[in-house]
Chains A and B, each alone.
Chain A
Amino acid sequence: MTERVAIVGVGQTRQERNKVYDTFADMVYEATTLALADAGLSIDQIENVVSASNDFWDGRTISSMAINDACGSYDKNISCVEGDGTFAAFYGMTRILSGAYDTTLVVAHSKGSESVSSHITNAMFDPLYVRALGLDAISSAAFQARRYMDRYGVSEEQCALVSVKNHGNAFRNPYAQLPLRLTVQDVLQSRMLADPIKLLDASPISDGACAIILARESAARKTPKPPVWVRGVGYCADAYHLGDRDLAECAALVQAARKAYDMAGVRNPRKQLDVVELYDAFTYQELLWTEGLGLCGPGEGGRLIESGATQLEGDIPVNPSGGLLSAHTVIAAGLVRIAECVLQLRGEAGERQVKGARTALAHGVNGPCGQSHCVWVLGV
């Protein structure tokens, strides 16, 4: 990177099943004001804004229009990424590195409660060959889960451990929607949605918004809290048609992680990372992505979680926030992972704090079955 960029403020709303009292703008305003307070900045000190939203999820074309006022972008330079917040944050970062602005506010929102998710996710599939079959996010994920489990012998019990861990971690996170005390049996006995994915293997419908403030080094040094530095970032897309790739592999994640690791000087992620917040839309995904991130070898994700290493007290805690399984605001979820990492690195993560965390990884996904991944390495 040409110069250092830091995250100086984060804000998130509580993630809830149905924020019936809040419009998109209300949520964005809340997250934005929290992030500003956190950074000790006023809205006038924010030089540009990148929002993240999705026209389908919001039921309006030009979805960014709904929240322009609410993110303080009036009379500022502004843009909008349609994709997970981690990607929007990348663009927000380049607008600082380009020399144009000292600070960028990045804000993402989504209300799953307002739409019918099967229709929305069905629309991401090819209209000519797949959509008429009625495929959606859950049934397509089930393809990947089955293929992954067949190839490596990963079991439903190992996947269930992810649900037990993450829903349990959510008790320590006041923002998380769904803290649950579960056993593996609870998960295995929960209602089957699409083999092998059961209710408690899947993430919930959520409403929420999240905002982060990026700043170049000279501006970051002026904010009250210690800056959290962006050490490395990378993103990459795989093939689109589900039959084009072996769904048990995640080449795009491997490549995105490699870019981020190279920039950050991470050669041994298992040892050098202190905490990981990854995109666990389904239980099997946490296992598969730990492999793609190099925290263990291919096919070893199940053994990794069985070892206890990814528990809060383990040597590589994964999703101490509760992850997406505990709250899944589409579009915002990746940005929430970044925000959680920032809290960890500042020592502000309360009861979910990983002691002595100095290097963290945040991960976001776009597209069906993890087609496109964005990886951030942050450090203090």
Chain B
Amino acid sequence: MPPLVNLPKEAAHFNLALQLHKPEHGPPQRPPKIDNAQARIYSEAHLTPNRRDTMSADWLSNVEPMVYKSRIKVPYTWSVGETGSRFFVELRDNKRLFGKRCAGCNTVYVPPRKMCGRCFRDTDDWVEVGPEGTLQTFTVVRYSHELQPMAAPFAYGIILLDRASTGLVHLIGDTDLAALRAGIRLAPVFREERSGTILDIAYFRPVGSR
């Protein structure tokens, strides 16, 4: 029995990224009119039909709906701040990972924070974390858009590095995607050339358990 859902048509309703910016095929469909019986029920009950259905449509049928395609270009340079800078410098120069601990609630934050949002106070000491960690949750991404650093299918994970209290979001690579499970152990794979960004870690990959 063929599926009742005509997927290419329905898929158009979903994430445009899946379509990779393909333009509409053919002229856009005008919304269907509500028929008179429905219109009566709805206007009595509360609803009025879509105003376009009730407008004198002569001139409207000659209107070509124009679409102006553009981009907004607003370049950014985010200040990392001293706390984040230390994290990225250690990552770039020494391939070491650090979290920052709040003595108030004993949370070791990764990524490190200058302040603890729960206690609303400055965090205290730096704690070296990882490099290995445990996978908390993950997903295998099977669609593509231009912001992704890897080609689909690929995996993301939230990794609780050893000695950290909070998980780090990153990519999982060099792995059998079908074998991914929460609870497995992972280790970071550092890039040869590092510049002080989160992608100095190319990805995390599964390792044998301790």
Task: List chain A positions with a Cβ less than 8 A from chain B.
Answer: 10, 13-14, 16-18, 20-21, 30, 33-34, 37-38, 59-60, 112-113, 116-119, 122, 126-136, 138-139, 142-147, 150, 174-175, 177-178, 180-183, 185-186, 189-197, 199-200, 202, 204-205, 239-244, 247, 343, 346, 348, 350
Pick the residue among A17, A189, A194, A239 that contacts B12 (CB under 8 A).
A17
Is the beta-carbon distance between A135 and B169 smaller than 8 angstroms? yes
Task: List chain B positions with a Cβ less than 8 A from chain A.
Answer: 3-5, 7, 10-18, 21, 24, 28, 30-31, 34, 38, 41-42, 45-48, 50-52, 63, 65, 67, 72, 76, 78, 80, 84, 109-111, 117-118, 136-143, 145, 147-150, 156, 158-160, 166-171, 182, 197-199
In angstroms, Cα B111 to Cα A230, docked, is 41
Nearest A residue to B154 by beta-carbon distance? A134
20 contacts between A and B (CB under 8 A): A20-B65, A37-B48, A60-B72, A116-B145, A118-B145, A119-B147, A127-B78, A133-B171, A134-B149, A134-B150, A136-B147, A139-B141, A143-B137, A175-B47, A180-B5, A239-B117, A241-B166, A243-B158, A244-B109, A343-B46
Pick the residue among B13, B30, B52, B148 that contacts A134 (CB under 8 A).
B148
Is the beta-carbon distance between A118 and B48 smaller than 8 angstroms? no
Q: Nearest Cβ distance between residue A233 and chain B, in whole angstroms?
A: 23
Q: Which residues in A have their C-beta under 8 angstroms from that of B11?
A: 191, 199
Pick the residue among A20, A128, A138 that contacts B67 (CB under 8 A).
A20
Given contacts A194-B156, A244-B166, 19 further A-B contacts (CB under 8 A): A17-B13, A21-B65, A33-B51, A60-B72, A128-B80, A134-B148, A146-B138, A147-B136, A150-B137, A175-B47, A177-B13, A186-B5, A193-B141, A194-B142, A240-B117, A241-B166, A242-B169, A243-B158, A346-B46
Is the beta-carbon distance between A146 and B15 smaller than 8 angstroms? no
Q: Which residues in B have their C-beta under 8 angstroms from that of A38?
A: 46
Is the beta-carbon distance between B45 and A348 smaller than 8 angstroms? yes
Is the beta-carbon distance between B51 and A30 smaller than 8 angstroms? yes
Is the beta-carbon distance between A132 and B169 smaller than 8 angstroms? no
Q: Nearest Cβ distance between residue B186 and chain A, in whole angstroms?
A: 13
Q: Nearest Cβ distance between residue B116 and chain A, in whole angstroms?
A: 11
Q: What's the dominant secondary structure at chain B's contact region?
A: loop
Pick the residue among A16, A130, A348 that contacts B31 (CB under 8 A).
A16
Q: A118-B17, A243-B136 in contact; A132/B197 too (CB < 8 A)?
A: yes
Is the beta-carbon distance between A194 and B139 smaller than 8 angstroms? yes
Is the beta-carbon distance between B140 and A195 smaller than 8 angstroms? yes
Q: Which residues in A have their C-beta under 8 angstroms from that of B72?
A: 59-60
In angstroms, Cα B18 to Cα A205, docked, is 12
Pick the residue among A20, A130, A139, A186 that contacts B4 (CB under 8 A).
A186
Q: Nearest Cβ distance between residue A37 and chain B, in whole angstroms?
A: 7
Is the beta-carbon distance between A34 and B137 smaller than 8 angstroms? no
Q: Which 5 A-B pairs have the closest CB atoms?
A: A243-B167, A142-B139, A134-B148, A204-B13, A147-B137
